[in-house]
Amino acid sequence: MTLHMHLCFVPLTEDGRLSAKDIIGNKKKLTWWQDEFWKHMVKKFPDLERGESASLTGRDHIPPRVFKEMTRLTKQKEKLGQLLTGITPFNAKSRAEEICKILDTYLPGVEKMDTLLRKYGVAFTKTASENKKLKTKNAELEESLASAQKVSALKQIVDLKLRRDYDSAVAILEQIPPEVLELYKHPHKKERETAYDR
Is residue 116 domain-shared with residue 145, that is, in the same domain? yes
- Can you give the pTM of this predicted structure? 0.39
Q: Is there a single domain that holds both residue 4 and residue 33?
A: yes
Q: Is residue 154 part of a domain?
A: yes
Are residues 45 and 64 part of one domain? Answer: no
Chain segment 139-196, per-residue pLDDT in tens: 665 665 445 444 565 567 778 888 888 888 888 888 888 888 788 877 665 555 555 5
Mean pLDDT of 84-110: 84
Question: 95 and 43, same structural domain?
Answer: no
Q: Cα dist. 62→113, 162, 192, 197 in Å?
A: 12, 11, 40, 47
Amino acid 118: pLDDT: 76
Task: Tally the domains of the chain.
Answer: 2
Task: Centre a 10 Å sphere on the Cβ of residue 2 and count the other Cβ atoms it contains.
Answer: 11
- CB < 8 Å & 24+ apart, contacts of 186-190: 189/97
Q: d(Cα 157, Cα 24) in Å, to the nearest integer?
A: 32
Q: What is the pLDDT of residues 21-37, one digit of tens each?
A: 888 888 888 888 888 88
Same domain, 27 and 79: no
Look up the domain containing 173 and give its range: 60-197
In a domain, 8, yes or no: yes
Instruction: Specify if 81 maps to a domain.
Output: yes
Does 89 share its domain with 150? yes
Asked whether residue 78 falls in the same domain as residue 112, the answer is yes
User: Within this chain, do residues 84 and 21 fall inside the same structural domain, yes or no?
Assistant: no
In a domain, 177, yes or no: yes
Do 120 and 187 belong to one domain?
yes
Summarised one tens digit per residue, pLDDT across range 42-53 is 999 888 887 766
